[in-house]
Amino acid sequence: MEAPPRVRHPQAVLFACTMNAVRSPMAASLLRNMFPKTMYVRSAGARKGEVDPFAVSVMAELGQDISRHKPKTFEELEDLDGLNFDLIITLSPQAHHKALDLTRTHAVEVEYWPTQDPTLVEGSREQRLNAYRDVCDGLSLRIRKRFARSGAGA
């Protein structure tokens, strides 16, 4: 079954994770850099955390600066921008449940991309950075597949 055209070619995308501190800011930055000027992209969390220094380091390796990212909750984003998105991509169970709850009265597609939380990995600095790199690589691959298919790069 084919998705409605609006979802296939989203113009506004929200990435959401638990604390808007690692996965969703990484994904938003990746999408913005892969398809500049073609979509409105934001990120939010079920709760608000602090920007993670390992996430900042891994994104800096790609030449992307997320150090000034200000984590926001869904409610804060709704107060600022509304929830005017064609597509919400959730990266954690908490964010997925929150997105489904908040979008009951909105015409928005919600996709769930289960994504490991790299903050749970223990070990040396390099082992922890590798966990963040793995998450970044996985998000990058999914974003390329999802948005190349949608014609976002066109």
CATH code at 53?
Answer: 3.40.50.2300
Does residue 100 lie in a domain region?
Answer: yes
Residue 73: inside a domain, yes or no?
A: yes
> In terms of residue numbers, what domain contains 115?
11-145
- In the structure, what pLDDT confidence band is assigned to residue 142 with cuts at 50, 70 and 90? very high
Q: Which of 119, 114, 138, 139 is nearest to 129 (CA)?
A: 119
Please provide residue 146's backbone torsions phi and psi, each rounded to the nearest 5 degrees: -70, -45
Between CA 32 and CA 150, with CA 4 as vertex, the angle to 5 degrees is: 35
**Is 77 part of a structural domain of the chain?**
yes
pLDDT of residue 37: 80
Q: How confident is the model at residue 66 (pLDDT cuts 50, 70, 90)?
A: very high
Mean pLDDT across the chain, nearest whole number? 89
pLDDT in tens, 2-31: 444 345 679 999 999 999 999 999 999 999
Instruction: Examine residue 89 and state whether it is found in any structural domain, yes or no.
Output: yes
pTM of the model: 0.89
**Model pLDDT for residues 50-61, shown as the tens digit of each residue:** 999 999 999 999
> How many domains is the chain built from?
1
Q: How far apart are CA 34 and CA 96, in angstroms?
A: 24
98 part of a folded domain: yes
Query: Domain for residue 132, yes or no?
Result: yes
Residue 56 domain-assigned? yes
In a domain, 140, yes or no: yes
